[in-house]
Structure 1
Amino acid sequence: MSLPNCPKCGESYTYEDGHLYVCPMCFYEWTEESLKAEEEASILRDSVGNEIYEGADATIIQDLKLGSDTIKRGAKVKGIQILDKEVNGHDIQGKIDGFGNLLLKSSVIKVR
């Protein structure tokens, strides 16, 4: 049976220690279940639990104050891009007509 490469550093020197896989190069330890849980936790979800994917369109679920303007509930967000790193709690970017490209939080949208 072939053991998996280390998911952290990619090396092929993995060995089994009981129910754990261990990488002697970076000392990362994991199980198949922990990898599945990490993968599930890394999926970005909208306000109702739908998966957000690149290029998706969505709807704003609450009025958002933007300076002296307000983005009204129901406004359409087009072409969502998932940010690599959060910026002040904002994890996505999308275009809203009349406002242009904006940073948004996934918790204020619903994917269509």
Structure 2
Amino acid sequence: MIVYYDSYCKLCTTSSNIWKKLDWRDKLIFRSFRTLENYPKEMEESLHVQHKGKWWNGYDAIINIAKLLPALWILLPFLYLFKWVGLGNYIYGKIAANRKLVPVNHCQGDTCRIDKSPEH
């Protein structure tokens, strides 16, 4: 699965670093959509993932990441429950709309960096 995250967003990079540590089976590849030449503008608004020719974004992207990380499987029933009652997308939307962006070359220390790993 390719995870397209926003490298200008500290929350996004922190989340990606946590997922990378939980990815014991090397199922995730992390790419900043900001490095793509012509990325869809929707990527600026929500997390996007691509897996086996399918795309998910926002809260659905988080669910699909959790499906591939055994350490997060215990959360899947709650993630689906939140989706079913509408809270998942609502909370995701609020967080995404209020996240802080740090433009390129304005990072402090390693706060904007995601450790690169060889592609799988």
Q: Which has the larger strand fraction?
A: 1
TM-score by shorter chain over 0.5: no
Larger Rg: 1 or 2?
1
Category of TM-score, reference length = shorter chain: under 0.3
Higher normalized contact order (CA 8 Å, seq sep 6+, divided by chain length): 2
- TM-score, scaled to structure 2: 0.23
Q: Which has the larger helix fraction?
A: 2
